[in-house]
Chain A
Amino acid sequence: DGGITQSPKYLFRKEGQNVTLSCEQNLNHDAMYWYRQDPGQGLRLIYYSQIVNDFQKGDIAEGYSVSREKKESFPLTVTSAQKNPTAFYLCASSMGGHGSGYTFGSGTRLTVV
């Protein structure tokens, strides 16, 4: 079955460490996205990529980095520069264009200890 896989489901990080969240899709989707959810807030866009080897900052990109070397993969690195990294992170993909719904992964909950 086609889908989008995020790993790990839970992640603990010490302050000052970088950590990378994995997102893989086998839907042949061109576009991929990273969102963050915090209590009481809507999903906020961190980074997105509409094509391989290209990506753009979203609304809250500071302290994060991404790469898009393969169509299937869009890993997110949470760097030590991210001041409040504890959150729930969702990855999504779509065919691109305004008429295409997003397919979401199951998310990664990151906790900084």
Chain B
Amino acid sequence: ILNVEQSPQSLHVQEGDSTNFTCSFPSSNFYALHWYRWETAKSPEALFVMTLNGDEKKKGRISATLNTKEGYSYLYIKGSQPEDSATYLCALMNSGYSTLTFGKGTMLLVSP
């Protein structure tokens, strides 16, 4: 079973703050790294799918970077808003598996 680590476990910021989370994973046999946002009482929603070392992706105020050689990805949120409050999941696919292995998530709370 792959070990996908996310930190911090939870985060509480004020509206307007920028924040970032980390996802660490085994770098060998890398295929893809996914990020999902999971709001309370809703379904997890795909944010990014990243496959190449050095990938940077952006969606509005949220962006992500990928380093497959050292085995980490960062998710950044610029100017956090209360509607960004959610659990952010990262998930890894490598050549040994054809499915995603998820981390435990980072729970973000943005206060007005």
Contact = CB atoms under 8 A, between A and B. Distances in A.
A48 B98 CA distance: 10
A99 B51 contact: yes
Given A45-B99, A106-B43, A100 B104 contact: no
B103 A42 contact: yes
B89 interface: yes
B93 interface: yes
Interface in A4-32: 4
A45 B102 CA distance: 9
B100 A41 contact: no
Contact of A102 (B31, B98, B100, B103): B100
B42 A101 contact: no
Q: Which has the most chain A C-beta neighbours within 10 Å: B1, B4, B44, B89? A: B44
Given A45-B99, A48-B99, A106-B42, A40 B104 contact: yes
A98 B44 contact: no
A2 to B, nearest CB: 13
A105 interface: yes
Interface residues of B, number: 24
A74 interface: no
A98 B51 contact: yes
Contact of B43 (A40, A45, A107): A107
A50 B98 contact: yes
Given A33-B99, A48-B99, A102 B46 contact: yes
B24 to A, nearest CB: 13
A112 interface: no
Nearest to A48: B99
A13 B108 CA distance: 33
A69 B57 CA distance: 38
Interface of A: 4, 33, 35, 40-45, 48, 50, 58-59, 90, 98-107
